[in-house]
Structure 1
Amino acid sequence: MARIAVIGAGMGAMAAAARLAVAGHRVVVYERTETYGGALRRLERDGFAFDTGPGLLTLPAVYRDLFVKTGKEALEDRVELVQVDPAARHVFADGTEVSLPNASRAGVVAALDEALGRGAGARWSDFLVRAREAWDRTRRPLLEEPLWSNWRVLDEKEPYPGVPHKRFLRTRRAVKLHEIGAWELRDPRLAALLADSALAYGVDPGTAPASAAVLPYMEHAFGTWYVRGGIRELARAVYERCLARRVEFVFGAEVTAIVEKDGRAAGVEFADGTSAEADTVVGPGPWRLRGLLPGAELYGAGAVPPEPEDRFPGRVVVCLALRGAREPGAVHRTVVHAADADGDLEKFRRGGVVPELPTVLVDRPDDPALRPDADHESVVLTATVPAATEYDWAAPGAADAFADRMVAAAGRAVPGLGERVLWREVRTPLDTERETGATGGAVPPPALAAPEGVLHPANATAVPGLFAVGGWSHPGGGLPHAGMSGALVAGLVVEGPEFRGSQ
């Protein structure tokens, strides 16, 4: 039985801890804050409750597998999963609206044809067929297997099979997500649907590779799910599974260094000067591991280099406590698209200027657990924004001014929103940084294969006994990816470098 120290209690870390404990190891999780869950936090006040991280779950099979592999109780024995239908309502800049059914291609085709005109549904359906090809080509290396030693093959060819497009006497295929929108979807509203799927993951649709088409495909193929009581309940269930498997948690324990002995990781040191020995250390992303083990060569020559966390965007979340009941027919999620998506994204890229009219996700769960009574409603607004290192969210009035614009945008989706607000709380990338430790409060994107894709460093480092888990390591950010990260780390610790992933 090995002693394993896990730094942080995020979803990937807890997924690894539970699996390692079942394998017979003694696992201790050291978390610098006073709670678990990483970005899956909950704000509670005056009988209202809000998810301040992801609002919905895709690929629930990842967490079903975790519960199957770590005990007799299934995931659905611990939480109630509800398939959201419609998957989302979209409000476009020109006033057009469409509600897309959950995991129903025929329903989506019919809805798009009715709202956007005949042929729109077929173009979107054909796009999803091509997106599935990209998914089939990248699913195992990017989700289910440790990062290949010859990872550069994932950078050599765009896995999305773009349609030939003739332009200026040349025939080209889409290699960027925005080119799919312009050349294949041929409707600014369909292009906005595609762009939103990337933006929701913190991926800039203007620079994202065409392989980011797998993101809307995941939602279409596997559905989007809500956890009754809020997504925070998923974190609670994973935490309780860890406790049931005798994982020990130490909260308020800030790890300041990784102890190295005889060339391998041998424990952790804390801010109060104490230390704990370990045979194996599972740490956070590589960018922060550098600070915990300065001077060490974490990744050998030819490995995927760690990217600075603050080069990726963050999120602003506005929690709204509303007077008045949720109106009949209200949907769980509405996407209010920016009036000038291209212009706002261009500002975004130039020096971290926040968009004037952002795309806003409006989450309105019909869940009595989140409101004091039937005469009130809790609503969460989310927008992707520059990280705190790109924009000064602490400047006087900066957060509130942007929140005002988000509320104004959301007013297109929620009747009488402005008059219904009892109070609100605004959370910026500064809050994300405080809770997760991510530089600037940036949100890690999922791994995407392509010549200009996004790949994260491997879970195994060049330091024996030291592994990295979570969104800043392979396979990147997103709730499903966090669960797979934990599975990969556990496999590598238990089986060694010969581990080749789930079967």
Structure 2
Amino acid sequence: MARIAVIGAGMGAMAAAARLAVAGHRVVVYERGETYGGAVRRFERDGFSFDTGPGLLTLPAVYRDLFVKTGKQPLEECVDLVQVDPSSRHVFPDGTEVALPNASRAGVVQALEAALGAGVGDRWGDFLVRAREAWDRTRRPLLEEPLWTDWQVLAEREPYPAVPHKRLLRTRRAGTLAEIAAWELRDPRLTALLDSHALAYGLDPRDVPASAAVLPYMEHAFGTWYVRGGIRELARAVYERCVARRVEFVFGAEVTRIVEKDGWAAGLELADGTVTEADHVVAGVDPGRLRGLTKHALDEDGDVFPDASAPSPGRFTVLLALRGAREAEAAHRTVVHTPDRGAELNWVSGEGPGPVRPTVTVLRPDDPALRPDEEHESVVLTATARPKGDWAADGSSKPFVEMMVHEAGAAIPGLRERILWQETRTPGHNGDETGAFCGGMPAPSLAGGKGYFLRPSNSTRLPGLYRVGGWSHPGGGLPHAGMSGALVAGLIVEGPGFRGSQ
């Protein structure tokens, strides 16, 4: 039985902890905050409840596998997991809108054709077929296996297929999402639909590789899911599974140093001076913070993964407590697209002035657990914002909130008159809770792009030290966090020869 010290109680860290405990190891999780879940948090006030992190789940099979492998109770006995239908409603600047059914390519094509015009749905449907090819080519190396030592193969090879060009009588291969939109979709509304999947992770479609086509594909292929009571309930269930497997949690424990002995990660030092010994250390923290815990080089020379010192865009959230009942036909999720896509992308990337009118995602769960009674409604607005340390310093928080509420009015009738109170959470709030630099959010790992869109491997150059969670392979997002936990557990239990799930 090995002693495992885990830094952080995020979703990836807890997924690894539960699997390691089942394998017979003694696991202790050290969390500097007072609760578990990382970015998967909840805000409560006056009988209202809100998810302040992710509000929906894709690829629930990842957590189903976790619960199957760590106990007798399956996931569905621990949380109430339901499909969201329609998967999303989209409101475009020209006034057109469309509701997309859940996990149905044919249904999505039909809805787009009816709402946006002949040929539009077919172009999106054809795109999803090509996106599936990119998914099939990258699913295993990017999600189910440890990052290859020759990861340059993933960096150089663009998995999104080339497309025949009738005029040129040859094929051409898109290098970015923006080129897919320009060459294949050829409609500003489809472009906005495609871009929104990248923007939700802080990615710029003008720069992100074409392999990011897997992001909308995942949603269309595997569906969009909600956990009754909020996604925080998923974090609770994972935490309780850890406790049931005798994982020990120490909250309020700030780790200040990874102890090394004979060139091996051999324990942790805490802020109060306590030193704890371990045979392996698993770190579920921001890479910048991790680098401050050890002087040991963690990656090989020549690795080109994102610079931990460069802040990434974050999630700006507005929580709305509304008077009045939710309309029966209201969509769970509505995306209101910006009237100036270029200005938004420039601002988010730090290249243009702002703030500007953003793309706003409006979450309106039909869930009695989130509201005091049937005469009120709990709503969450989210938008991607440029990296910034202190939103209060220059007063830009208030006008950005006003813009978000204004845009959300296209999704909620009479919104301003219904607001009982509102709570603003800047990316800085997320940074305070998770330790992420400027509250940045990690994106999923993507092939192509010369390796810049990959995440560092779970193993490190310091033997005994492993990385888990969104800032390591296979990147950000709830499913990816769960998969990172499975990979780290496999590497510790089976050793460096572990090649992933079969």
Give, as a single letter, the amino acid of the residue that structure 2 aligns with 1:40.
V
Residue 167 of structure 1 and its aligned partner are, at CA, apart by 8.7
How many Å separate the matches in 2 of 1:361 and 1:482?
A: 22
Question: Cα RMSD over matched residues?
Answer: 1.6
Q: 2:421 aligns with which of 423, 428, 432?
A: 423
Deviates more, 1:347-356 or 1:65-74: 347-356
How many Å separate the matches in 2 of 1:52 and 1:198?
A: 20
Residues 187/306 of structure 1: CA separation in 2 closer, same or farther (3 Å cut): closer
Instruction: State whether residues 10 and 38 of structure 1, in contact with CA within 8 Å, keep that contact through their aligned partners in structure 2.
Output: yes
Aligned to 1:289: 290
Count residues with an aligned counterpart.
Answer: 500
Instruction: State whether residues 286 and 306 of structure 1, in contact with CA within 8 Å, keep that contact through their aligned partners in structure 2.
Output: no
Residue 52 of structure 1 and its aligned partner are, at CA, apart by 0.5
Aligned to 1:136: 136
Give, as a single letter, the amino acid of the residue that structure 1 aligns with 2:477.
G
Instruction: State whether residues 286 and 435 of structure 2, in contact with CA within 8 Å, keep that contact through their aligned partners in structure 1.
Output: no
Q: Deviations over 1:226-247 (max 9, x none)?
A: 0000000000000000000000
Matches within 5 A, 1:140-159: 140-159=140-159
Residue 139 of structure 1 and its aligned partner are, at CA, apart by 0.3
Instruction: State whether residues 253 and 271 of structure 1, in contact with CA within 8 Å, keep that contact through their aligned partners in structure 2.
Output: yes
Aligned to 1:43: 43
How many Å separate the matches in 1 of 2:496 and 2:105?
A: 41
Does the alignment pair 1:276 with 2:280? Answer: no
Residues 115/405 of structure 1: CA separation in 2 closer, same or farther (3 Å cut): same
How many Å separate the matches in 2 of 1:91 and 1:320?
A: 20
Instruction: State whether residues 176 and 206 of structure 2, in contact with CA within 8 Å, keep that contact through their aligned partners in structure 1.
Output: yes
How many Å separate the matches in 2 of 1:496 and 1:59?
A: 27
Does the alignment pair 1:500 with 2:478? Answer: no
Instruction: State whether residues 39 and 432 of structure 1, in contact with CA within 8 Å, keep that contact through their aligned partners in structure 2.
Output: yes
Residue 162 of structure 1 and its aligned partner are, at CA, apart by 3.3
Residue 141 of structure 1 and its aligned partner are, at CA, apart by 0.5
Residue 262 of structure 1 and its aligned partner are, at CA, apart by 0.8
Aligned to 1:368: 368
Residue 190 of structure 1 and its aligned partner are, at CA, apart by 0.7
Does the alignment pair 1:109 with 2:113? Answer: no
How many Å separate the matches in 1 of 2:435 and 2:353?
A: 23
Instruction: State whether residues 333 and 363 of structure 2, in contact with CA within 8 Å, keep that contact through their aligned partners in structure 1.
Output: yes
Residue 300 of structure 1 and its aligned partner are, at CA, apart by 2.5
How many Å separate the matches in 2 of 1:132 and 1:92?
A: 26
Q: Secondary structure, in 3 states, of the residue corresponding to 1:292?
A: coil
Residue 81 of structure 1 and its aligned partner are, at CA, apart by 0.6
- Structure 1 stretches (4+) deviating beyond 6 angstroms? 166-171
Q: Deviations over 1:221-268 (max 9, x none)?
A: 000000000000000000000000000000000001100111101110
Residue 15 of structure 1 and its aligned partner are, at CA, apart by 0.2
Residues 59/354 of structure 1: CA separation in 2 closer, same or farther (3 Å cut): farther
Residue 451 of structure 1 and its aligned partner are, at CA, apart by 3.1
Residue 307 of structure 1 and its aligned partner are, at CA, apart by 2.1
How many Å separate the matches in 2 of 1:197 and 1:162?
A: 21
Percent identity, aligned pairs only, is 72
Aligned to 1:57: 57
TM-score (norm. length: structure 2): 0.97
Q: Secondary structure, in 3 states, of the residue corresponding to 1:467?
A: strand
Where does the alignment leave 5 or more consecutive residues of structure 1 unmatched? none
Residues 415/437 of structure 1: CA separation in 2 closer, same or farther (3 Å cut): same
Q: 1:442 aligns with which of 432, 440, 443?
A: 440
Q: Deviations over 1:139-184 (max 9, x none)?
A: 0010000000110000112110132447999964211101111110
Aligned to 2:460: 461
Where does the alignment leave 5 or more consecutive residues of structure 2 unmatched? none
Deviates more, 1:310-319 or 1:112-121: 310-319
How many Å separate the matches in 2 of 1:179 and 1:438?
A: 31
Instruction: State whether residues 254 and 271 of structure 1, in contact with CA within 8 Å, keep that contact through their aligned partners in structure 2.
Output: yes
TM-score (norm. length: structure 1): 0.97
Residue 203 of structure 1 and its aligned partner are, at CA, apart by 1.5
Q: Secondary structure, in 3 states, of the residue corresponding to 1:15?
A: helix
Give, as a single letter, the amino acid of the residue that structure 2 aligns with 1:258.
I
Give, as a single letter, the amino acid of the residue that structure 2 aligns with 1:403.
V
Does the alignment pair 1:93 with 2:121? Answer: no
Aligned to 2:431: 433
Residues 386/352 of structure 1: CA separation in 2 closer, same or farther (3 Å cut): farther
Residue 309 of structure 1 and its aligned partner are, at CA, apart by 5.6
Aligned to 2:480: 481
How many Å separate the matches in 2 of 1:159 and 1:35?
A: 40
Residue 202 of structure 1 and its aligned partner are, at CA, apart by 2.2
Give, as a single letter, the amino acid of the residue that structure 1 aligns with 2:433.
E
Aligned to 2:119: 119
How many Å separate the matches in 1 of 2:353 and 2:275?
A: 43
Give, as a single letter, the amino acid of the residue that structure 1 aligns with 2:124.
W
How many Å separate the matches in 2 of 1:68 and 1:304?
A: 36
How many Å separate the matches in 2 of 1:342 and 1:352?
A: 9
Does the alignment pair 1:77 with 2:77? Answer: yes
Instruction: State whether residues 228 and 367 of structure 2, in contact with CA within 8 Å, keep that contact through their aligned partners in structure 1.
Output: yes
Residues 306/407 of structure 1: CA separation in 2 closer, same or farther (3 Å cut): closer
